[in-house]
Amino acid sequence: MLPNGTVGIDQRLTQIAGAFLLQMHNEHYQVVKSFSRPIEVKIPLLAQLYNPNERRMVVEGDAIPLFSYDIANNQWKVEEAGKVQKAANGSLEYVARLAHLSVWVAGFTKQKCETGLSFRVKSILPSSSSTYQCEVIDEASGARLQVFKSTINNGEIIKVTGLESDQFVRLRITDNWSTTTALSALVNGCTADVQDIDVTTFKKPIVKCENGPGFRIKSTLPRSDYRYTCEVINESTKAILQSFQTTANNGDVIRANGLDSDQKIRLKIYDIVSSATAVSEVVESCATDIQPLDITHFRLPPQPCAATPTFTIKSNLPNSDRSYTCEVIRADTKARLQIFQTSANNGHQIRLSGLYDNTGLIQLRIFDIASSAVVTTSPIEACSGQGVTVELSNFKVPAPKCASALGFRVTSTLPTSSLVYQCEVLNAATNARMQSFQTTINNGEVIRINGLYSDETVKLRIFDLSSGAVATSAAVEACNAAIQVIDVTSFKKPIVKCGAPLYFSITSKLPNSSQLYNCEVINDNNQAVLVRFQSTVNNGQVLKIEGLDSDQKVRLRIADVASSAVATSAAVDACASATQSIDLSSFATLPPIETGEVLITLQFPCTEIDVSKLPTQELFGRFRLSGTVQWQNLPSIKYIQGKTTFSTTTTLLKVGATYDFQAGPAPGYYSFSENNYKLESANWVIKIKTDEYCKK
């Protein structure tokens, strides 16, 4: 046998029934090479001999392969297989016929399958480019031998390569839209026949329509801005899929967008004057054509008044910028139709809008701001367009505006800043908000409030930005000339980002390389990780860290990739302007790369790999010169225990050349790639962007 139990080039013995050297000499001590006719040999068999082809112990009638070794050519040869039979004592024995003398081995072998398995998909799903998770499951151990993604359109062939002859497997596919899985029949890894896998139980994927159907309104009503209630209804379930309001003028097109595919729908519109409805014909939810929708039976809705009353104020009061509250009410029910504020100086005209031809009789009511007096006009048609004089009898002269601003001096323990806070001026009697604005609240600053009136008593309220705290002043007369006080010492210090990056200069004895190291910025007080990133760590290199919050001390921590060493900087203010230092002299040098070799490292973006998530710990890789079509296979790319990398070395690559690279769990299924990469050194580090396999 060749080293490592191999037979031929790619076969390996897994179960040996027997092995012996058969050698004979003639009377002249010459080695006999062959017989005039084959001889029969019998070898007793162990009861525990396993037949991997049948996945059981050997029984009478089983064939066991036989191999002979040609010493002259250093080559193994497959011979006629022997059989298992019952011996005279009832035990099992192996019987074979030998035609020549040699070293003989009887046993079962395994080898890499020359052709992969093929599975034909049976599906009722619509064809799509969606991929589903596929797993090759070892029947004996239940282990996942391969994990990859593939489309599963009806009739497609899914190929699985890289299996061995002694493996019996099933293909398992998981539905993207439910917990359903499809499992193939059990099959040997080298089976040439196409197997079937049935995914007809999979749920049809929910796909949003890129566009929706349109409905063109047919109407005899005059154009208006009235909005009608519309519903999109599933024809099968009658469920309301969408409800919205829109205009419905003649020729308008109403679009139903954002619907799920694979359903039929109708559009239903409700009249706003009567109980009438209009329902469209049934249409596919993803249809793009425009359907007619007839609402000619809808009744004419109320129309806006072509003209409305104008009310002219008659007043003996001095002109003022004070606003008075006005109401438009129905004359019969006194129900309020409108409320607004306006000045009420002598000669001022109030013009109403938003009234309709079915409004009927209305009245205007104005409230005095300095007394309880109210003036109400006589009833008038909403669409009359008449002019009406409104005399403000019994109204009192309103209080004058304060001659100077009301001031509030801020008491604060916060650091001086340009941050602005939300402020409100409240009516002290009703707590109604009178003014709203933003301003800084640095200690000693005076907040001045203008536009107040002498009859008002007010309070100032300020809201904290960083907590739920609220500061409210004492009630004060609006025209008080003394500076008031508002205390915001309960406010939380705001979180402010550092205005400039924090810099760390690296001290290292390592040779310069493109190897990436895991770095963390941690809060020195609670050890919380603030920032995670990866970087090279060459001597003299400066790392820039941005976006840190002020008012904290931090440390930079870097983990070695060649040992368990961790370097931690001194604690430093997060907003420090001076460049800090971090010493990596305890880090170990990476194993040297032999001359002519290139080290390929797949670096995952995390501090720790979750090994249980890895579909395999050995990746298949290939490369090609950029711009060419011929791919070449790389040595296996293996996971490095305890690290966040897969790596391999090869002599196939040349520094200075530009390559395309692919790697994945199985040949033909490449999850990671990098294109047009110019190999500048013998250390090729490929950054993997997905964190799917990182420990959370």
> How large is the average pLDDT for residues 536-562?
91
Of 603, 683, 674, the C-alpha closest to 645 is 603
pLDDT of 27 reads 67
pLDDT of 52 reads 81
List, for residues 346-372, the tens digit of each pLDDT value. Answer: 999 999 998 998 899 999 999 999 899
Q: Where are the domains of the chain?
A: 3-111, 117-198, 214-294, 310-391, 406-487, 502-583, 598-687
pLDDT of 6 reads 41
Helix (H) or strand (E) holding 337: strand 336-342
Of 655, 638, 656, the C-alpha closest to 647 is 638
For the chain, the maximum distance between any two Cα atoms, rounded to a whole number of angstroms, is 153
pLDDT of 72 reads 65
pLDDT of 431 reads 93
Read off the pLDDT band of 373 (50, 70, 90).
Answer: very high
> How large is the average pLDDT for residues 132-137?
93
Between 190-204, 259-273, 340-354, 657-671, the lowest mean confidence (pLDDT) is in: 657-671
**Are the beta carbons of 134 and 176 closer than 8 angstroms?**
no
Read off the pLDDT band of 576 (50, 70, 90).
Answer: very high
- CA dihedral of residues 107, 110, 111, 117 (deg, nearest 10): 140
- Who wins on pLDDT, 642 or 151? 151
Helix (H) or strand (E) holding 621: strand 618-625
CA distance 671 to 439: 54
The first and second tokens of residue 63, run together, are 């064939």
**Are the beta carbons of 216 and 250 closer than 8 angstroms?**
no
For the full predicted model, state whether its pTM sits above 0.75: no
- Nearby residues of 637 by Cβ (< 8 Å), 6 or more positions away: 600, 602, 618, 619, 620, 621, 646, 647, 648, 663
Kindly provide the b/e burial profile for residues 417-436, where b requires at least 16 CB atoms within 10 angstroms of the residue's own CB: eeeebebbbbebeeeeebee
Q: Do 310-391 and 598-687 fold alike per CATH? A: yes
CA distance 681 to 630: 23
Residue that is written with structure tokens 């050890």 in the block: 527
Q: Compute CA distances 381 → 24, 351, 356, 376, whole Å.
A: 132, 14, 10, 15
pLDDT at 1 over 60: no
pLDDT at 5 over 70: no
The share of the chain scoring above pLDDT 90, in percent, equals 54
Secondary structure in 3-state letters for 444-485: CCEEEECCCECCCEEEEEEECCCCCCEEECCCEECCCCCCEE
| 60 DSSP assignment | T
| 524 DSSP assignment | T
> How large is the average pLDDT for residues 163-176?
90
**Are the beta carbons of 371 and 394 closer than 8 angstroms?**
yes
Between 170-179, 354-363, 510-519, the lowest mean confidence (pLDDT) is in: 510-519
pLDDT of 669 reads 61
pLDDT of 67 reads 86
- Nearby residues of 229 by Cβ (< 8 Å), 6 or more positions away: 243, 244, 245, 269, 270, 272
Where residue 132 falls (left for φ over 0; alpha for ψ -120 to 50; beta otherwise) is beta
CA distance 258 to 206: 12
CA distance 106 to 20: 9
| 112 DSSP assignment | B
Give SS3 for 288. Answer: coil
pLDDT at 240 over 50: yes
Of 652, 689, 651, 653, the C-alpha closest to 671 is 689
List, for residues 24-68, the tens digit of each pLDDT value. Answer: 766 665 666 677 788 889 999 887 888 887 778 899 999 998 988
Report the CATH fold assignment for 310-391: Immunoglobulin-like (2.60.40)
List, for residues 293-330, the tens digit of each pLDDT value. Answer: 999 999 998 888 999 999 999 999 999 889 999 999 99
Over its C-alpha atoms, the chain yields an Rg (Å, rounded) of 44
pLDDT at 550 over 70: yes
The share of the chain scoring above pLDDT 70, in percent, equals 95
CA distance 690 to 674: 14
pLDDT of 19 reads 80
List, for residues 647-695, the tens digit of each pLDDT value. Answer: 888 888 888 899 999 887 766 566 788 888 888 888 888 888 787 788 8
Output the DSSP codes for 543-585. Answer: EEE---BSS-EEEEEEE-SSSS-EEEPPPEETT--SPEEEE-T
Burial of 408 (0-12, 13-18, 19+ CB in 10 A): buried
Q: Read off φ and ψ for residue 287, nearest 5 degrees.
A: -65, 145
CA distance 647 to 664: 13
**Are the beta carbons of 249 and 223 closer than 8 angstroms?**
yes
CATH (one of 3.40.33, 1.20.120, 2.30.30, 2.60.40) for 598-687 = 2.60.40
Mean pLDDT over all residues of the chain? 88
Per the DSSP assignment, residues forming a β-bridge with 533 are: 519
> How large is the average pLDDT for residues 519-529?
93
